[in-house]
Amino acid sequence: MSKTFFEFFSPVKILAGFKALENIPFELSLLNVKTPLLITDPGVESAGLLKSVVQVLKDNGIKSPEIFNDVPQDSSMSVVAKGANLYREKGCDGLIALGGGSVIDTAKGINILVSENADDLKKFSGAGVLKRPLKPLMVIPTTAGTGSETTLVAVITDPETGNKVPFVSHFLIPDVAVLDPRMTLTLPPQLTAASAMDALTHAVEAYTGLAKNAVSDAHAWSAVQLVSENLFAVPEAPDDRQLRLNLSVAATQAGIAFSNSMVGVVHTLGHSVGAVCHVPHGMAMSVLLPHGLEYNLENGGESYANALGKLLLPLAGEDTYLKTARDERPAAVIKTIRDWKNRLQKISGLPCTLKETGKVQKSDLEPIVRVSLSDASSIYNPVEIDAEDASNILNKAYENC
Ligand SMILES: [Fe+2]
């Protein structure tokens, strides 16, 4: 990968604040959207979040949007097809995604079908297949972690094979991301912790990966600092809107960073742990993060150690950074993350090891390794990973924090 050239692209307009929702009607008018399809899931609806958004629209003279609330935890191409049919049936002219990663990816998939006037989503899988802009897409995240509100990726399951199919295109980047703390206030402690650890992993992998560049580094750095300052403050004051908003901004900035600089071994293995054993993504990230970093540190040479070591400052703060010798900083980063995992387990019950997730058996590790070998995110990891390496990391993460 060339060190003398990089691209950075992040055209999403970010609306962040205590009353961010109230800006939606104006933004819809700017996008010329009069009949949006709102995509969400039953959990978001039962938490009362859908009602809040619809109320804001009504208060601003916008009729209730058409609603598709059939998105399951792991969305699939058949769900996307159903949503696209509803969009066409109701004559919609834009999309609003209200939810977590699965809802947002479903909205991106629906957008491909309705914009391309197509029925077969598979035709558009892979990188760079889309050739023109899609319909307007506004995203209101209800978790603070995936960063999907700013990324160029969607992952949707093929129900025939069970494979998670990636779609990668700049045209998938949403037009507007609405970060309003009212949307994450009800997020339970464990999901809050797991989502934040996903955001941290995006930032750390983007900052230390092969595709890092000065612009995405700035976002990754800020994201690490925001996670560090708010991860343990939120459980102590879960109703504090500013703290919640800070975690949302962290997730969005980490999303911007990895949408441009990609992720690495932790995601390579985490995707596979999710595919084989259905461990939720954020939980898998938290479990695997120190182990993936340790592997990279052992094998990644001086440039990797330098990049990782610098992150001790936003991660652990000035005092710890200054007290730690330069060559000890990379290991101190990993130790800090391990300490966080132990604290999060006490606070929220977030598992520390693959075994503790209750979803992974030792016999699953071999199939996880096999699946991981075809995961594209390993391309950007600073160290190559073969089956033996993947197996070693997974075995360590099975019983060790
Ligand atoms: Fe992730």
How many A from CA of 376 to the centre of ligand 1? 13
Contacts (Cβ under 8 Å, ≥6 apart) of 391? 365, 366, 369
How many A from CA of 47 to the centre of ligand 1? 24
How many A from CA of 64 to the centre of ligand 1? 33
How many A from CA of 88 to the centre of ligand 1? 32
* CB atoms near residue 1 (< 10 Å): 10
Cα Rg, the chain, nearest whole Å: 20
So what's the pLDDT on residue 214?
A: 97
How many A from CA of 173 to the centre of ligand 1? 16
How many A from CA of 46 to the centre of ligand 1? 25
How many A from CA of 114 to the centre of ligand 1? 27
The dihedral built from the CA positions of residue 105, 106, 112 and 115, taken in this order, carries a sign that is negative
How many A from CA of 195 to the centre of ligand 1? 9
How many A from CA of 147 to the centre of ligand 1? 8
How many A from CA of 34 to the centre of ligand 1? 33
How many A from CA of 99 to the centre of ligand 1? 16
How many A from CA of 304 to the centre of ligand 1? 20
How many A from CA of 17 to the centre of ligand 1? 24
How many A from CA of 280 to the centre of ligand 1? 10
Q: Is residue 35 within 8 Å of residue 90, measured between CB atoms?
A: yes
Q: Is residue 371 within 8 Å of residue 163, measured between CB atoms?
A: no
Token reading at 209: 């990966």
How many A from CA of 132 to the centre of ligand 1? 27
So what's the pLDDT on residue 73?
A: 84
How many A from CA of 270 to the centre of ligand 1? 8
So what's the pLDDT on residue 1?
A: 44
How many A from CA of 164 to the centre of ligand 1? 14
Q: Is residue 115 within 8 Å of residue 134, measured between CB atoms?
A: yes
How many A from CA of 19 to the centre of ligand 1? 27
How many A from CA of 267 to the centre of ligand 1? 6
Q: Which of 230, 203, 229, 234 is nearest to 217 (CA)?
A: 203
Angle at 327 between CA 325 and CA 330, to 5 degrees: 105
How many A from CA of 33 to the centre of ligand 1? 30
How many A from CA of 281 to the centre of ligand 1? 7
* CB atoms near residue 149 (< 10 Å): 26
So what's the pLDDT on residue 91?
A: 97
Residue length, the chain?
A: 401
So what's the pLDDT on residue 369?
A: 97
- Domains of the chain by residue range: 13-183, 189-399
How many A from CA of 317 to the centre of ligand 1? 24
Task: State which CATH number among 3.30.365.10, 3.40.50.1980, 3.40.640.10, 3.40.50.1970 fits the domain covering 13-183.
Answer: 3.40.50.1970
Instruction: Tell me the CATH number for domain 189-399.
Output: 1.20.1090.10
How many A from CA of 339 to the centre of ligand 1? 20
How many A from CA of 250 to the centre of ligand 1? 13
Q: Which of 97, 95, 163 is nearest to 125 (CA)?
A: 163
So what's the pLDDT on residue 376?
A: 85
How many A from CA of 143 to the centre of ligand 1? 12
How many A from CA of 156 to the centre of ligand 1? 14
How many A from CA of 202 to the centre of ligand 1? 6
For each of the chain's 401 residues, which pLDDT tens digit applies?
447 899 999 999 999 999 999 999 999 999 999 999 999 999 999 999 999 999 998 888 888 899 999 999 888 999 999 999 999 999 999 999 999 999 999 999 999 999 999 999 999 999 999 999 999 999 999 999 999 999 999 999 998 887 889 999 999 999 999 999 999 999 999 999 999 999 999 999 999 999 999 999 999 999 999 999 999 999 999 999 999 999 999 999 999 999 999 999 999 999 999 989 999 999 999 999 999 999 999 999 999 999 999 999 999 999 999 999 999 999 999 999 999 999 999 999 999 999 999 999 999 999 999 999 988 889 999 999 999 999 999 999 999 99
- How far is the C-alpha of 177 from the C-alpha of 253, rounded, in Å? 11
How many A from CA of 101 to the centre of ligand 1? 9
Half-sphere exposure of 181 (CA within 13 A, CB side): 15
